[in-house]
Structure 1
Amino acid sequence: MFEVKKVIGSLLMPLPITLLLVALCLLFIARINVKSYLVSWLLVVSLWAISTPFFADVLITPSEKRLAPFLTNKHQNVDYVVVLGCGVRPASRLPANLQLSGCALSRLTEGLRLLHAYPNAQLIVSGAGHGKATSSAMMANTAVALGIPVHKIIQNSKARDTAEEALLLATRLVDSKVALVTSASHMTRAQDLFSAQGVDTIAAPVQFYSYGNAQGFRRFIASASVLNAVTTYAHELIGRQWIALRRMIDPQAL
């Protein structure tokens, strides 16, 4: 009964229920244009498929398995802990931590863990935003609220994307031991861009999706959160292809 309740509850979420209703409507549409009818069905079925934990597991898990969490017992010292930006939702009535996206909070939490493990290291928080409400400022304020001294925090508030983060931080980080904190899906591209600026980094990935742990029928039920994960992964694939294209045109680019 518990499993049945979970399956029914999952089916009633916005994405799966919408797709089911669209499919139901298609059953009553006159099939005058057979090609359009078949394409509509194909699109509905495809959107359902790519939104399932089963598809996400096949797509994402292989790349995640190539990454491991940062183990402090394997690295004697770190000079800088760099936390890359990941979105901010400005709302002046809220404290800084509530203005950060879940992704940014996940990255910052890992950054603070490493900072406690390496008390001589400095924390670099990065990312632009909207006016004074930058991702770097919100992360810095959150870190201070959690007990990190202001003098141990460096803000990189002008960087609008990962390429600019690497470019603007390069002169400071070259020849230093750097722990790079970002999402697992983003780590390959981020390290590539920092390496292109002459900065060697140690991966400290967060936000592992681990869809291989999904069980039973829920592996085949569409979910908005899974679709978001697949979208994030697709964004990274496009980003890497864009970098490759830029470098093909101009070897000095990015």
Structure 2
Amino acid sequence: MFEFKKIIGAMLMPLPLLGIACVVCLCMTFRSNKVLSLIGLLAISCLLLISTPFFAQKIISPDTQLHYAFDVNKHTTLDKIVVLGCDINPNPHLTANSQLGNCAKSRLVEGLRLAYKYPNSQLIVSGGGIGKVTNSSLMRQTAISLGVNATRIKQNPSAMDTADEAKLLAPALVDFKVALVTSANHMTRAKSLFNAQGIEIIPAATDYYDFSAWPIHKQFIPSAGVLKAVTSQWHEVIGKAWISLRRWLDPEAL
């Protein structure tokens, strides 16, 4: 009874409910316009399929990202801990940590974990923002509120993307032992951009997506959270393709 209730509840969520409604409507219009109905059916079916944990797991391949996890037993010291920016939700009525999106919070938590493990390291928080509110300032305020000394923290508020972050931070990272904190699926692209600036970084990935432990009754039900994970992965595919194109056109571009 419990699993049945969960299945029904999951199917009534906006993504599966409206997706199934679209499929039914397209099937009903198939006779009047077969080509457009077929295209619509394929599109909505693909959207629903990649939104299920079973198929998303094949796209994300979380096991390939595990080698980016930071192992404290392999590193006795760190000079710099760089936390790359992510999503923010500016609202002057909220505390700094409440204005950080889940991705940004996940990255900052890993950065703070390393900062406490390596008390002599400098914490660098990066990322631009929306208007006068920057990712780096919100991360800095949050870190201070959680006990990190303000003198340990350096901001990089001007960077609007990862390429900017690598270029702007590179002069401060040369010849230092640097841990780079970012989302697991973003690490490959970030590492490539920092390496291009002559900076060898130690990956410290976080914000992993792994749906293998989800119960079987959830594996084939579309979920907005799963779709978000696939969207994040697709964003990285596009980002890598853009870098490859830029480097093909101009090897010094990125």
The runs of 5 or more residues in structure 1 that have no matched partner are none
Please, which moves more after superposition, 159-168 or 67-76? 67-76
Asked if 1:241 is matched to 2:253, the reply is no
User: Matched residues in 1 for 2:211 and 2:145: separation?
Assistant: 34
Asked whether the equivalents of residues 126 and 165 of structure 1 are also in contact (C-alpha less than 8 Å), the reply is: yes
C-alpha contact 1:126 1:159 (8 A) present in aligned 2: yes
Q: Distance in 1 between matches of 2:45 and 2:121?
A: 50
Structure 1 CA distance, aligned partners of 2:218 and 2:143? 37
User: What is aligned with 1:108?
Assistant: 108
Shift of 1:29: 2.5
Q: Give the C-alpha shift of residue 61 in structure 1.
A: 1.8
In the alignment, is residue 161 of structure 1 matched against residue 164 of structure 2? Answer: no
SS of the residue 1:185 aligns to: helix
Aligned to 1:148: 148
Q: Per-residue CA shift, 1:120-155, capped at 9, x if unaligned?
A: 000000000123210000000000000111100000
Counterpart CA distance in 2 for 1:161 and 1:9 is 38
Contact 2:111 2:181 in 1 (8 A): yes
- Count of matched residue positions in the alignment of Structure 1 and Structure 2: 254
DSSP-derived class of the 1:204 partner: strand
Alignment-mate amino acid for residue 156 of structure 2 = N
Shift, 1:63, TM fit:
5.9
Question: How far did 1:23 drift?
Answer: 1.8
1:42 shift after superposition: 1.3
Report if aligned partners of 2:51, 2:223 keep a CA contact under 8 Å in 1.
Answer: yes
1:211 aligned counterpart, secondary structure:
coil
Residue type of the alignment partner of 1:100 = L
Name the residue aligned to 2:3: 3
TM-score normalised to structure 2 length: 0.96
Q: TM-score, normalised by structure 1?
A: 0.96
Q: In the alignment, what sits opposite 1:131?
A: 131
Q: C-alpha displacement at 1:244, in angstroms? A: 0.5
SS in 2 for 1:179: strand
1:72 alignment counterpart: 72
Q: Which runs of 5+ in 2 are unaligned?
A: none
Q: Is the 8 A contact 1:68 1:205 kept in 2?
A: yes
Q: Identity rate of aligned residues, in percent?
A: 52
2:16 aligns to what?
Answer: 16
Aligned 8 A contact 1:64 1:208 in 2: no
Aligned-pair CA distance for 1:68: 4.1
Kindly report which structure 2 residues correspond to 1:87-236, keeping only aligned pairs within 5 A, or say none: 87-236=87-236
In 1, Cα distance between equivalents of 2:206 and 2:68: 9
